Structure 1
Amino acid sequence: MNEIPSRDEIASRYLDSLPYPPYPVQEEAILTYFTSDQGVLVSAPTGTGKTLIAEAALFEALHTGKQAYYTTPLIALTEQKFADVQASAVRWGFSADDVGLVTGNRRVNPQAKILVVVAEILLNRLLHKEAFDFADVSAVVMDEFHSFADTERGMVWELSLGLLPAHVRLLLLSATVGNAFEFRMWLKNSHDRAIELVQSFDRKVPLTFHWVGDQLLTEQLELMAEGPEELRFTPALVFCFNRDECWDVADTLKGKPLVGDAQKKLLEIELAQHDWSKGAGPKLKAILQRGIGLHHAGILPKYRRVVEELFQKKLLTVCVCTETLAAGINLPARSVLLPTLLKGKPGDKKLIDASSAHQIFGRAGRPQYDRQGHVFSLAHEDDVKILRWKEKADKIPEDTKDPNLIRARKELNRKKPIRRSTEQYWGQAQFEQLRTAAPLKLSSRGQLPWRLLAYLLEASSDVEPIRHLVSKRLLDSGKQIGAQKILDRMLRTLEAAGYVTLDPPSPKIDKSGKPIAAETPETSEKPAENAGAAVPAATMLTFGSRAPAPAPVKKVATNQPATKKKKEDEVDPNLPPPYQAKHAHPTPQLERLTKLRSINPLYGVYIVDQLGIASREERIQAFESVLELPGSVARHCRVPPLGDMPAGPLATEKLNIALLQRGLATPYQLGAEVSDEEYDAIMALPFELRPRVLTLADKLRLQFDADYHDVHSLFTQPCWVAGEVLQFAGNFEKYVTSRGLQKQEGVLFRHLLRMILLLKELSTIHPPEVTAEQWKLDLDEIAEQLTEACRRVDPSSTDKVIEEAQRAADGEL
């Protein structure tokens, strides 16, 4: 039997296996990991080569016969790391099959010793330890760990840290953070994990920052691409903050001489291997032929993969991309260029946040290739024109007597450029502000997910362990109190909805916080006094709603304080003592919440229970409304008006009646005809105050908000994409072409894939009016039609999603 080598021996072997000498911070981190008992946090600038550090833990696992997890926050990054780790395993003398991949989309060698997984997979396995044994796991690597502070992704890693068995060593790899020492202390105090800290603020490839106030974008890129290869500033990544801008920038560049003849010929050979005949393909191919790449969510996955391959082969001079590329996808560039420093809606743009800026800056400079990375920021084109005008004007003496110069000055003054009142501007001071901004601080973000709360209560009705988990979050004392109050409200919402019974029973309170008698059926169902009146503007749903809920008729119990704000240490003798449940006993309904993972489960179960009598069109509308589309795309995908798609039985027989009785909508909003006088009165209102005819999704959301007014951070948005694709007989290309949405086809394709996954999830629960078999049959039929439509566009990406849906149905995810 082979003797297991010591850590010192493994460390020595690993350092000897490296293809090049490690940087000082890499060597320090590797040696610290091998000498630590519980792990290491490595905080170092982007571009430090943290993958080489991560692989030390994987090297050790393979040489000791143990298992290790390598996690990242993004599927695309996970798949890229999978390929890198497989290549390393072969270099170490092992098989590529010793490395596996498990993401939401793909599953390769799932029983391998080394598993590269997206972070949610690790958490899911920790929550189901009866199915996934961690006794043989020696280490967990968490790459891009600064995502801990992300509102959406951070909770996944935060909970994983609390659930990992004590024997598993951690290797946390993060961009530079501002509170690494405090985080280390929090981990020790909250989770009894004493990890070491390796911190560096130096980059192996240093960055040089350039403010460019006198060049337009195309001019600057031409300058950057000039000269011999070793003196150029390319390849370069051009970061834009919306997809339309990416296309516009690429269009302006495609006529510029950015590639040589040899590069053109190689590009032609590579491009000929793919079909570019459909959708955005012809336009994208024309851009790629000029050495310019495009990379954003509007590009189909199959095209994005080609762009990544071409850039990595150094066949593209420039790649125009959105900031998601800065999150870790490895497109090696010598320079990054920002045409703007502002982000947001026109007229309401804000300076990009410092952490995003540092991620973008960190993409510049390729270890092993570049001695220097370069970050360029351009002035607004108006300011460039003003500067150029001033340079010309300064050449004409103010006291000149020359009539020709006087005429020239008058002509110059006539054409003097100015800053426009409709534009927002930035300057060198803002660029300097971003460059010198303090690093991001790690802190807990986001709320305890409803699905996780349901899962924990199913495992045990004791609330104290959940309170203890919430109390461990990396929050200041004020936010800790708030987090506990949020937990109380969540428990009482579950009680009011019939998912749990609380012990002791929760008191019912009125708006002022005083105890009230239990509602009787007569009072709880009494219509509002303003039934039939116009809904106030504040409660009207906009297109894509995060709006506050309208005042409900039947209230969910809550322990909100009186409306008059009091000091925290001031006690109101008229208020009951703070209520806290000790146990939350699950009802049979609670299990339904645990089955839905891609959407808010409370809302998912709610709409399913409404859809028993719905038509297929109504069901599709309800499902699509929970799949968020970017506003720039959603406005082109509106639900057809009632004249084109009449209301179905759910609306006419159930929702319209309930909304009228409860005073939540007017007859006009429900599509009823009104008198000429009433119509004129509506049209006389300012546009933003006019009530509009509600879609089915609006009606469902209004009713849900009235019943669950303490459920926040829920986004719904009426849209009609899957429904219209099916009306086009599943012809996705015909659909996007008819709508002129070729530049956004990647977003729409992803929407359909998400719809397929959602249908598979929702098929596991059913409304009371239909059997489980009938419900599943209808949803499976819709999913199959959409699957076939997607396969005709991108079979590889579609098959990955179907595989994920099947594994979820089998209980593997």
Structure 2
Amino acid sequence: MAGARLVTSPNAPSSATLRVPGSWSTPTPEELFETFQQWAAGQGLSLYPAQEDAILELADSQHVIMATPTGSGKSLVALAAHFFGLARGQRTMYTAPIKALVSEKFFSLVGVFGPENVGMVTGDSSVNAGAPIICCTAEILANEALREGAEANLGPVVMDEFHFYADPHRGWAWQVPLIELPQAQFLLMSATLGDTTRFESRIADGTGRDVVVVSSAERPVPLSFEYSTTALVEKLEELAAKQLAPVYVVHFSQREAAEQAAGLMSLNLLSKAERERLGERLKTFRFAKGYGQTLSRLLKSGVGVHHAGMLPKYRRLVEQLAQEGLLKVISGTDTLGVGINVPIRTVLLTGLSKYDGTRVRQLNAREFHQIAGRAGRAGFDTEGTVVVQAPEHVIENEASARKLAAKHGGDDAKIAQAIKSKPKKKPPEGFVSWSEKTFEKLMVAAPEPMVSRMKVTYAMVLHILNRPEDPVTAMRRLITSSDETPVRQAQLQRRALQILRELLAAGVLEKFDEPDEDGRTVDLTIELQDDFALNQPLAPFAVAALDLLDPESETYALEVISVIESILETPYQVTGAQVKKLKSERLAELKADGVDYTERMRILDELTHPQPLAEILEQQFEVYRAAAPWVADHELQPKSVVRDMIERAFTFIDAVNFYGLARSEGVLLRYLTDAYRTLRQTVPAAKVSSDLEDLLEWLGEVIRQTDSSLLEEWERMAAGEDPERLAEWDRQRTQEITSAPPVGFTGNERAFAVVVRNAMFRRAELFSQEKEGALAALQREHTPTSEWSDPNRWAEALDAFFDEYEDVYVDAEARSAEHFRLNKNPADRPGCWHAVQVLDDNEGNRDWGIHAYIDLPASDEAEAAIITVDHVGELRGP
């Protein structure tokens, strides 16, 4: 988030603000349409016929299904729906499938309607939730529909990317509002809806109002299609030469997108003037270590990368550079099909098959058209281009055939014999191929019919129980009104009854002998929190599990973190990398011990990622579930990501490098951000020790130093409408913007002290394991000239210590603050800190320690703690 307050977007002139005339009381449809049309004209926008048709129907209070191509201006129609609702004094909702789009739309609407009129509600928090225009994910709207039904205060409801109705996991959330909100005026939008007959009938029957389908719009920027058997790099050079850039190269995995981008740096895509302009634009952008350095080189050559594994600040930079016309090629994933704002002229698909989480299969028509539809920039291009590459083995075989044809000078017999005798390259094992015929079929194919994905969960039942009507009747109506088959409806009803019985058996529900005044036959015996199922659904379990911990334990703060980590979604790229690293290290140990191959494989197969407290948490979870059956919708997931970083004394970049996560930095950052805000939101103040507060300060600083955008957005949302919290948020943001020079890596002393303490204890752990090589490597990383960069120097210290003592402990007590000393103002070293990690010997004398100086300016420059060991031996002053 830029700036200190939610104000009109700096990119939009103040005249862009769309206000309801103060003279209106009950505006007519004609007044609504004319006012909006005049506002649009003032922005330099003239309505397409399809937009005009849709907006006229919305002004007349009808439902609209906008099934028009990408680039035909559906967003402007949605803007009209919000304006009409505002003018009529109605509350309006905008929903989208992913938070990134919801957030983007939120800031866009703030720029048009003003911050006082727009709010956002997500599963994490909310801002201005009482505003007349609300942006939210589909699940938020569905939960409100379940809780309040026909009593919900709603007018226009805009459901963007409505084809997610068919999503196997989330489709229920797109169906529930259509059934449960008869008072709403729906605007359903997507370029790939297919047959909409069933939606028209459902909405018309349920609301008593007409449904108008707008689908005949011609694409403002027509598309041309090409099937390419030219090698990818050559094809991109050809497209650039024909002025068909920018090109978005679509891959179906983040790894492929990143690797392909690296192979494009040699392309001569930019003129000298373009290269200079791009270099000037990037001068002020701060690229961090890790993938940032690679991305910097790519961007300077005119090549961008865009996928969900990147840090948000990098994705936004690529989007901005693309919007400014400074990138010629962007290598990314098929997230492009979900409305990501990257304006491009040409879409090049590297394939027509993808892994969908279960199997590798060919793209369906809907997926193809969603991606292809992004080609062509309205207002810039007269035509968009869609290119599909043939499979790599086909391209290579055809290239080989062309070479043979050239070699034999047009002699058909010799050419045929040469091609026959030369073995063809075969596709890789498990490859799902495609051909030009596949491409041609997809080009003309209509989107597949959307399949109903209704389901019944504990959370849905509990939401319905909040209604002022009989929940049994309400649930039956919801299921029988769904688009499921009769057989599937019967299955869902049985599931709902099973859930009701479990809630009754657990004492969460009570059954009435007679219906009450609202017709209820059952009711809750407990009071659910207002944001039930909107935040971490297992947060109440985590709070209960904290009672199992000993606040006096030296590892209490780490154990609190482990409890919270167990309720977060698992970042599988990170935990997978942890397993890979563990297997690599364990394999080396097993080989050194002479363990035979079969036994090695058995041991390695049993390895998993670190799961602190797993046994005790899983036992407690079973006990908790008996009284709260709804938690069965969710799975406890013990893991160690934040804790692992603390125990290994890792910075963000250390973790990325150690586990090879350069292509998944964004995944790690999102997880750390989720962990930070869940810790802040969930752990009661009485359970927060000083050590835990220190670790939270450190974690917040890690996130801010890496990419503050996610955390700033959450902090602004968490401030809500509290004037004091808003003022504090404004003050902090203003201070960050105006402070010069900016606060460095050591600026937050409390967080930096945690970094130093963790790093010093890591040295004690390696000392206890007698790993002189690893200790020397730590020193050599930042100060290679130090005598402690030599493993022999550490070996001497180890020999001296173990001549006197038999062991050094690295347990919870050894990690305590009692064994760490820090002097922030040593007289002999200005600009440094002096730290001592006391070694906890087996006799309890504790008269040895690792002494070190921390160079603050060097730490700021390196964005890491620059620790130089001074000596290892008897305790003494600096």
Q: TM-score range by the shorter chain?
A: 0.7 to 0.9
Aligned residues of 1:451 and 1:596 also touching (Cα < 8 A): yes
The aligned counterpart of 1:469 is 478
Aligned residues of 1:176 and 1:200 also touching (Cα < 8 A): no
The aligned counterpart of 2:382 is 371
Aligned residues of 2:159 and 2:188 also touching (Cα < 8 A): yes
Aligned residues of 1:183 and 1:442 also touching (Cα < 8 A): no
Alignment of 1:332-371 (within 5 A): 332-344=343-355, 349-371=360-382
Secondary structure in 1 matching 2:156: strand
Aligned residues of 2:569 and 2:637 also touching (Cα < 8 A): yes
1:670-694 deviation line (CA, Å, top 9, x unaligned): xxxxxx9xx9999499789869899
Alignment of 1:35-50 (within 5 A): 35=60, 37-50=61-74
Indicate whether 1:743 and 2:768 are aligned. no
CA, structure 1 residues 595+54, in 2 after alignment: closer, same or farther (shift >3 Å)? closer
CA, structure 1 residues 97+809, in 2 after alignment: closer, same or farther (shift >3 Å)? closer
Distance 1:141 1:713 in 2: 29
Distance 1:778 1:485 in 2: 49
Residue type at the aligned position of 2:479? V
CA, structure 1 residues 268+54, in 2 after alignment: closer, same or farther (shift >3 Å)? same
Distance 2:64 2:109 in 1: 20
Structure number with greater CO (CA < 8 Å, separation at least 6) is 1
Aligned residues of 1:624 and 1:755 also touching (Cα < 8 A): yes
Indicate whether 1:11 and 2:33 are aligned. yes
TM-score, length-normalised on structure 2?
0.67
CA, structure 1 residues 777+429, in 2 after alignment: closer, same or farther (shift >3 Å)? farther
Distance 1:413 1:637 in 2: 47
Distance 1:185 1:806 in 2: 43
Aligned residues of 1:455 and 1:594 also touching (Cα < 8 A): no
Q: Which 10-residue stretch deviates more, 495-504 or 735-744? A: 495-504
2:437 to 423, 426, 429: 429
Distance 1:485 1:777 in 2: 50
The aligned counterpart of 1:482 is 491
The aligned counterpart of 1:172 is 188
Aligned residues of 1:210 and 1:375 also touching (Cα < 8 A): yes
Distance 2:422 2:344 in 1: 43
Distance 2:215 2:126 in 1: 34
1:80 to 94, 101, 104: 104
The aligned counterpart of 1:187 is 203
1:624 to 565, 585, 588: 565
1:757 to 665, 669, 677: 677
Indicate whether 1:224 and 2:144 are aligned. no
Unaligned 5+ segments in structure 1 are: 90-94, 505-580, 646-675, 765-771
Distance 1:204 1:400 in 2: 48
Superposition RMSD in Å: 4.4
Aligned residues of 1:78 and 1:118 also touching (Cα < 8 A): yes
CA, structure 1 residues 267+680, in 2 after alignment: closer, same or farther (shift >3 Å)? closer
Indicate whether 1:439 and 2:447 are aligned. yes
TM-score, length-normalised on structure 1?
0.72
Distance 1:306 1:371 in 2: 26
- Number of matched pairs: 675
The aligned counterpart of 2:652 is 732
The aligned counterpart of 2:331 is 320
The aligned counterpart of 2:221 is 205
The aligned counterpart of 2:80 is 56
Distance 1:110 1:797 in 2: 19
Aligned residues of 1:593 and 1:605 also touching (Cα < 8 A): no
Distance 2:125 2:495 in 1: 35
CA, structure 1 residues 381+336, in 2 after alignment: closer, same or farther (shift >3 Å)? same
Alignment of 1:791-810 (within 5 A): 791-805=704-718
Give how far 1:378 is off. 0.6
Secondary structure in 1 matching 2:187: strand
Alignment of 1:236-635 (within 5 A): 236-344=247-355, 349-394=360-405, 413=421, 417-421=425-429, 423-458=431-466, 462-501=471-510, 583-588=521-526, 591=528, 595-601=532-538, 605-606=540-541, 609-614=544-549, 616-629=557-570, 631-635=572-576
Distance 1:274 1:608 in 2: 41
Give how far 1:447 is off. 2.6
Distance 2:64 2:344 in 1: 29
1:313-367 deviation line (CA, Å, top 9, x unaligned): 1111122222223211221111111112222299952223432222111111222
Distance 1:702 1:639 in 2: 28
Secondary structure in 1 matching 2:366: helix
1:470-527 deviation line (CA, Å, top 9, x unaligned): 33222222221121112122223334544335579xxxxxxxxxxxxxxxxxxxxxxx
Secondary structure in 2 matching 1:71: strand
The aligned counterpart of 2:813 is none
Name the % identity: 31
Distance 1:443 1:174 in 2: 15
The aligned counterpart of 1:551 is none
Secondary structure in 2 matching 1:319: strand
Alignment of 1:683-762 (within 5 A): 683=599, 695=611, 699=615, 700=617, 714=634, 717-729=637-649, 731-762=651-682
Aligned residues of 2:577 and 2:660 also touching (Cα < 8 A): no
Give how far 1:725 is off. 2.3
Distance 1:725 1:359 in 2: 40
Give how far 1:240 is off. 1.3
Distance 1:219 1:57 in 2: 46
Residue type at the aligned position of 1:727? E
Give how far 1:746 is off. 0.8
Residue type at the aligned position of 2:224? T
1:718-768 deviation line (CA, Å, top 9, x unaligned): 54211122235572222222323222111100011122233345436xxxx
Distance 1:801 1:86 in 2: 17
Residue type at the aligned position of 2:215? Q
Give how far 1:800 is off. 1.8
The aligned counterpart of 1:789 is 702
Aligned residues of 2:279 and 2:300 also touching (Cα < 8 A): yes
The aligned counterpart of 1:519 is none
Unaligned 5+ segments in structure 2 are: 1-21, 514-518, 550-555, 587-592, 726-878
CA, structure 1 residues 723+243, in 2 after alignment: closer, same or farther (shift >3 Å)? same
The aligned counterpart of 1:653 is none
Give how far 1:380 is off. 2.0
Distance 1:420 1:174 in 2: 36
Distance 1:682 1:491 in 2: 50
Aligned residues of 1:365 and 1:373 also touching (Cα < 8 A): yes
Secondary structure in 1 matching 2:577: coil
Give how far 1:129 is off. 6.9
The aligned counterpart of 2:175 is 158
Structure (1 or 2) with the greater helix fraction: 2
1:236-263 deviation line (CA, Å, top 9, x unaligned): 2111111111110110111111222222
